[in-house]
Amino acid sequence: MQGQGQGQGQGPAWDRASAHRQVARVPQPPSPAFDHADPGAYYRALREAYGPVAPVLLDGGVPAWLVLGYHEVQFVAGNPELFGRDPRRWHAWDRVPTGWPLLPHVAHTPSVRFTEGEEHVRRAGAVADVLGEVDPYELRQRAERAADAAVDAFAGAGRAELVAQYAEQVPLHVMAGLFGLHPDETAALERDLAGQYGYGTAAAEPPHPACPAHPGGTAPGPAASAARLRAMLEAVLARARRSPAPGADIPSRLLAHPAGLTDEEVVQDLLTIMAAGRRPTADWIGNTLRLLLTDERFALTLSGGRRSIAQALAEVLWSDPPVQNVIGRWATRDTRLGGRYVRRGDCLVLGLAAANADPRVRPALPGGAVGNHAHLSFSHGAHRCPAPAPQLAEVVATTALEILLDRIPDLVPALAADELPWRPSLWQRGPAALPVTFTPL
Ligand code: HEM
């Protein structure tokens, strides 16, 4: 994503023409560079240049608005009649290149993510009911078993890479358990979730099978992963239907929900729950572990306990939220936002991380975040992360961190803090690796 165009107050006044068309006619100021190690600097530079709503170019030069201001993100997410969730109203589809890496996030499917109004109430209600039936005590037990198994796998070695071997593993196995998956299905799930929903960089993405160079759709890549995931969920649903008594797993419950979802709706919403539940939870664990292991404010109390884990989890939601930017919302009519004229059909990206850091609202960190849940890391409004989900993620993340630090209290990062790599993504934030050493168990 690049900043585009000119700053507020420079050059000709903004008129009702699209800002994107207007900026194309005036000299371009330098775009701030995005540094994966410090995305905050990029958001600050954009805010300085453009104010709370910045015109940006997504991968492939596709124009969008990046909403950086806290109040503006709340306004956009909280007014679905002005900023809808259905991407089919986008006027820039003709500018989206084949194989666009963001397609899995914007190509319309009959998923809860893209429904609006009464239909969204029905669909989101079913998802929330089903997640609400997950027993927190049983969830903690599942997370404990997954965490213990992950630690067992590397405890004797005296070294580990805590992203792949731990932060990713615990939510994966918890979700697999909640979905009633068999072990071979869990292994396939691990591979295919990574393939389908990664918000990668354009360069890192394999070509989309719809590309003429890959006719037939058999190429590896997001679409092949999506097809396998889908086939697996269809098999899970067929199993649930054959079962003589309704199961307690999430697919069986969604199938039996009185909202009466069609098979296609159930599959789509299971895909959403799986992807939404696994990656952000893994990154919440990863980002918190990174903070605990590298920030000396936590080092003193690391072996001491729960308070520092809760503190670190809360701080991460303000400072390094797992979901940094959400694409998106689409304007239902011409309107004004943060001093910009937004045209009907324009795409808006919710800048959750930037909004959390908005100097107009940001509490004095560090420390100030504890007990303050006003961050936008689970978004806002009708499409925010559905009510039971953040609590479920918190149970899993807290359990994972407690078990790891209880069992291996002398974890030492194998790299200096500024050498620990971040995944190259504008959309999700998580460490690429957390290599550590410790006394073998
Ligand atoms: C740290 C963990 C998590 C974070 C940071 C997170 C964050 C988010 C965000 C930012 C959205 C998008 C909202 C929007 O479009 O405005 C979302 C949606 C969603 N999340 Fe989460 N989430 C987390 C965990 C989970 C878990 C554990 C589940 C389920 C088990 C889940 C299920 C969902 C669903 C179903 C949606 C779609 C809601 C809709 O469009 O109506 N999330 N989440």
What is residue 215's predicted lDDT score, i.e. its pLDDT?
A: 26
pLDDT > 80? residue 341:
yes
What tokens were used for 433? 């690796």
Domain of residue 145: give its range. Answer: 2-437
- Top pLDDT among 366 and 180 is at 180
**Nearest ligand 1 atom, CA 382:** 41
- pLDDT surpasses 50 at 153: yes
Q: Which atom of ligand 1 is nearest to the CA of 178?
A: 30
Ordered DSSP codes for 62-111? EEEEEE--HHHHHHHHH-TTTEES-GGG-TTGGGSPTT-TTHHHHS--SS
Q: Which residues line ligand 1 (CB under 6 A)?
A: 77, 112-113, 124, 127, 131, 272-273, 276-277, 280-281, 284, 322-323, 326, 350, 377-379, 383-386, 389, 392-393
Residue (of 110, 100, 120, 82) closest to 330 by Cα position: 82
Q: What is the pLDDT of residue 26?
A: 31
| pLDDT of amino acid 84 | 98
Residue nearest to atom 11 of ligand 1 (CA): 385
- Residue located nearest, by CA, to atom 19 of ligand 1: 385
Beta strands, E only, 246-387:
325-331, 335-337, 340-342, 347-351
Number of domains in the chain: 1
Helix (H) or strand (E) holding 122: helix 117-132
User: Mean pLDDT score of the chain, rounded to an integer?
Assistant: 86
- Measured from the CA of 269, which atom of ligand 1 is nearest? 35
Q: What is the CATH number of the domain that holds 51?
A: 1.10.630.10
Out of 273, 326, 378, mutate this one to test ligand 1's pocket (max ligand atoms within 8 Å of CB): namely 378
Least confident of 29-43, 168-182, 405-419: 29-43
pLDDT value at residue 212: 25
Cα of 276 from ligand 1 centre, angstroms: 5
Question: How far is the C-alpha of 184 from the C-alpha of 211, rounded, in Å?
Answer: 31
What is the per-residue pLDDT for 31?
A: 67
Q: Nearest-5° angle of CA 212, CA 216, CA 220?
A: 90
The pLDDT, as a whole number, for residue 304 is 53
What span, in angstroms and rounded, lies between the C-alpha atoms of 274 and 193? Answer: 8
pLDDT at 246: 74
Q: Hey, which of 106, 385, 425 would you mutate to test ligand 1's pocket, going by the most ligand atoms within 8 Å of its Cβ? A: 385
Residue closest to 25 by CA, chosen among 17, 37, 36: 17
Share of the chain above pLDDT 70, in %: 83
Q: What is the pLDDT of residues 240-254, one digit of tens each?
A: 988 877 789 999 999
- Give the Å distance between the CA of 11 and the centre of ligand 1: 40
Query: Residue of the nearest CA to atom 27 in ligand 1?
Result: 277
Q: How confident is the model at residue 257, as a pLDDT? A: 96
Average pLDDT over residues 211-227: 51
Nearest atom, ligand 1, residue 127 CA: 35
260-292 pLDDT, tens digit each: 999 999 999 999 999 888 999 999 999 999 999
